[in-house]
């Protein structure tokens, strides 16, 4: 019995998709380690138990499910730090699977493979390799679920699908709200889905698609707002969210809004390769569709639409009202990169051919390969931070176990420690506590050493003190010095 070419192609694609997931999971185990808040969260769960996530919810009533991701990490690793890498791998695989399911009504084969990989890798957002963004990754899963339900509602109304969409919106907002503006824009993106959805339901006009999604997603926001009102009355206004909202009054003026928008654009496109990467990936993905447009006018309008969507991406970062957060690329690029994926999906749906895939097998494979390379580079960048932390921590633990001090002062002669992903104070104490040593630890920088860590420059927060300014610490105090000796990090008295 002869095997059809389609069956062979489907099997090959299935193998390639599994290989993609294996690579992404392997990168997670290779690169992802605790770097920032994860140290403190693991330490407090270690001392207070997994039930801490319920107590924590009282301080973040607008995000009661925020710590579900860290709880997953704890359970997967049974309290060991490997759980952070395992949790990251699970989130990535789930995001791929949910995105693949989401676009199935309108895309198949190679096109679906590319979009699912885009959703998993989220090019230009480095947060997929940082355990601190576990909640953000969980919110992404709910976001792509909303896309899936929205695509189905755009084709045909269903009460069960609408309720599932409302629930997904509520869950997303209860975990992490950075994608709120992406949700708000979903009905507008749906206007671009028309050509891809009318094949299934010729009676669905664009304005009905818009209304269906606006009402459904809006209902999700209303349900969340009702919860927020009740939670704020029960728990009061002295919450973490209230602190973040401080300084947002400037957004009530035109000048303040303009300054905030400019800051969002500067943060989103500040990195030299961000905008070129998005344009390059965009043309790789939708280029074949653009070239198939008949007539110069249609071709030009399609390109203009793509460029307009890319140019508008930083607007999705304006959900961050806090001055520090709008200047943090690790936060800003989450909604920007997510909106980029939705924009490419919408254009693929709008301009795809009436039959078959938009992308040929070799084109799709090349795009996925580029995405995996981009992901590998991001993972390697995160691993550099992890390697530095592990090297310093391992040598420090040896000294602490030998000396048994009450306090530890680490003189950083490299200029790299004590910043965002290199043991921001007081997280070195938390890291030691996770390893069983309750020592008050502080990192300082000698007067003659320049701090060279770049994150502190673009995210200006207090980092290290000068060593001659450190207040007396509880005795006995162990003083160690971190040096870079010909590329090797050493920690010695």
pLDDT in tens, 211-248: 999 999 999 999 999 998 898 887 765 555 555 555 56
The answer, yes or no, to whether residue 139 has pLDDT greater than 60, is yes
The domain of 401 spans 383-492
- Please check whether residue 367 lies inside any domain of the structure: no
Q: Pick from 359, 393, 418: which residue ends a domain?
A: 359
308: left (phi over 0), alpha (psi -120 to 50) or beta: alpha
DSSP 36: S
Does residue 366 fall inside a structural domain? no
Range scoring the smallest mean pLDDT among 63-77, 247-261, 273-287, 421-435: 247-261
State the Cα–Cα distance between residues 366 and 291, nearest whole angstrom: 18
Identify whether residues 344 and 387 lie together within a single domain: no
Are residues 85 and 141 located together in one domain of the fold? Answer: yes
The answer on 109 and 254 residing in a single domain is yes
Band (pLDDT 50/70/90 cuts) for residue 197 is very low
Question: Are 197 and 272 within one domain?
Answer: yes
Rounded to 10 degrees, what is the CA torsion of 337, 130, 425, 328?
0
Whether residue 224 is found in the same domain as residue 315: yes
User: Quick one: 407 and 330 in the same domain?
Assistant: no
Q: Up-side HSE of residue 81: CA atoms within 13 Å toward CB?
A: 20
Q: What is the pLDDT, as a whole number, of residue 1?
A: 36
Task: Work out the pLDDT band at 202, boundaries 50, 70, 90.
Answer: very low
pLDDT > 90? residue 279:
yes
Co-location of 121 and 179 in the same domain: yes
User: What pTM was computed for the model?
Assistant: 0.92
Note whether 164 and 311 are same-domain residues.
yes
Burial of 413 (0-12, 13-18, 19+ CB in 10 A): middle
Q: What's the rounded mean pLDDT across residues 269-277?
A: 85
Q: Is residue 387 part of a domain?
A: yes
* Element (DSSP H or E) covering residue 444: strand 440-445
Most confident of 54-63, 167-176, 198-207, 324-333: 167-176
Torsion of CA 386, 392, 397, 400, to 10 degrees: -150
Percent of the chain with pLDDT over 90: 65
In a domain, 336, yes or no: yes
Q: Domain for residue 19, yes or no?
A: yes
pLDDT at 3: 39
Any residues with CB less than 8 A from the CB of 202 and at least 6 apart, and which?
none
Give me the mean pLDDT over the 60-89 stretch. Answer: 93
Contact 91, 143 (CB under 8 A): no
In this prediction, residue 105 carries a pLDDT of 93
Q: How confident is the model at residue 296 (pLDDT cuts 50, 70, 90)?
A: low
- With 50 as the cut, is the pLDDT of residue 138 above it? yes
Tell me if 374 is assigned to some domain.
no
Q: Does 444 score more than 50 pLDDT? A: yes
| Bigger pLDDT: 58 vs 148 | 148
Look at residue 176 and tell me if it is in a domain.
yes
Mean pLDDT of 475-492: 94
181 & 272 share domain: yes
Name the domain count of the chain.
2
Based on the fold, state whether residues 401 and 341 are members of the same structural domain. no
The reply to whether 351 falls in a domain is yes
To which residue do tokens 């006018």 refer?
297
- Give the domain-ending residue among 294, 324, 359: 359
Q: Please indicate, yes or no, whether residues 430 and 330 belong to a single structural domain of this protein.
A: no
> Over 90: is that where the pLDDT of 256 sits?
no
Confidence at 358, pLDDT banded by 50, 70, 90: confident
- Shared-domain flag, residues 405 and 333: no
Alpha-carbon separation of residue 286 from 244, 456, 461, 476 (angstroms): 38, 37, 41, 64
> Is residue 183 within 8 Å of 143, Cβ to Cβ?
yes
Average pLDDT over the chain reads 88
Query: Last residue of a domain, which of 318, 344, 359?
Result: 359
What was the pLDDT predicted at 401?
93
Helix (H, G, I), strand (E, B) or coil at 37: helix
Q: What is the pLDDT of residue 196?
A: 47
pLDDT(314) > 90: yes
User: Any idea what DSSP says for residue 271?
Assistant: S
For the segment 119-141, the average pLDDT, to the nearest whole number, is 95
Among the listed ranges 193-207, 286-300, 378-392, 474-488, which one has the minimum average pLDDT value? 193-207
Cβ neighbours, 10 Å, residue 164 = 18
């Amino acid at each position: 019995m002869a095997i059809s070419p389609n069956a062979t192609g489907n099997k090959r694609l299935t193998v390639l998709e599994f290989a993609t997931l294996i690579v992404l999971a392997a990168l997670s185990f290779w690169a992802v380690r605790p770097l920032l808040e994860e140290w403190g969260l693991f330490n407090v769960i270690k001392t207070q138990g997994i039930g801490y996530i319920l107590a924590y919810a009282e301080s973040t009533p607008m995000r009661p499910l925020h710590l579900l991701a860290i709880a997953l990490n704890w359970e997967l690793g049974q309290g060991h730090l490997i759980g952070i890498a395992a949790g990251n791998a699970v989130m990535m695989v789930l995001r791929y699977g949910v995105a693949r399911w989401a676009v199935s009504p309108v895309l198949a084969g190679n096109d679906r493979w590319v979009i699912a990989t885009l959703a998993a890798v989220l090019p230009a957002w480095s947060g997929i390799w940082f355990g601190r963004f576990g909640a953000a990754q969980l919110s992404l899963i709910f976001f792509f679920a909303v896309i899936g339900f929205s695509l189905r509602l755009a084709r045909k109304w269903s009460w069960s699908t609408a309720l599932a969409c409302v629930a997904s919106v509520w869950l997303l907002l209860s975990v992490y709200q950075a994608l709120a503006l992406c949700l708000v824009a979903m009905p507008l993106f749906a206007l671009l889905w028309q050509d891809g959805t009318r094949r299934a339901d010729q009676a669905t006009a664009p304005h009905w698609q818009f209304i269906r999604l606006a009402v459904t997603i809006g209902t999700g926001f209303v349900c969340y707002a009702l919860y927020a009102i009740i939670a704020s009355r029960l728990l009061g206004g002295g919450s973490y969210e209230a602190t973040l909202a401080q300084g947002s009054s400037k957004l009530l003026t035109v000048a303040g809004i303009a300054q905030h928008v400019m800051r969002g654009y500067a943060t989103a496109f500040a990195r030299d390769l961000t905008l070129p990467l998005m344009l390059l990936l965009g043309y790789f993905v939708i280029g074949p569709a653009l070239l198939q447009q008949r007539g110069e006018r249609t071709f030009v309008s399609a390109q203009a639409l793509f460029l307009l969507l890319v140019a508008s991406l930083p607007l999705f970062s304006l959900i961050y009202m806090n001055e520090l957060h709008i200047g943090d690329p690790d936060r800003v690029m989450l909604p920007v990169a997510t909106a980029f994926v939705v924009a490419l999906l919408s254009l693929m749906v709008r301009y795809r051919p009436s039959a078959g895939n938009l992308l040929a097998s070799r084109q799709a494979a090349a795009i996925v390969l580029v995405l995996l390379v981009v992901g590998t580079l991001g993972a390697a960048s995160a691993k550099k931070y992890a390697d530095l932390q592990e090297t310093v921590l391992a040598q420090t633990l040896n000294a602490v176990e030998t000396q048994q001090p009450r306090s530890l002062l680490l003189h950083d002669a490299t200029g790299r420690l004590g910043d965002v992903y290199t043991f921001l104070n007081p997280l070195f104490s938390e890291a030691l506590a996770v390893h069983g040593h309750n020592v008050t630890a502080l990192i300082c920088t000698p007067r003659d050493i320049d701090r060279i860590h770049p994150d502190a420059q673009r995210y200006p927060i207090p980092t290290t003190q000068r060593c001659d300014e450190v207040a007396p610490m509880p005795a006995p105090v162990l003083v160690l010095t971190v040096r870079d000796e010909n590329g090797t990090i050493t920690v010695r008295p």
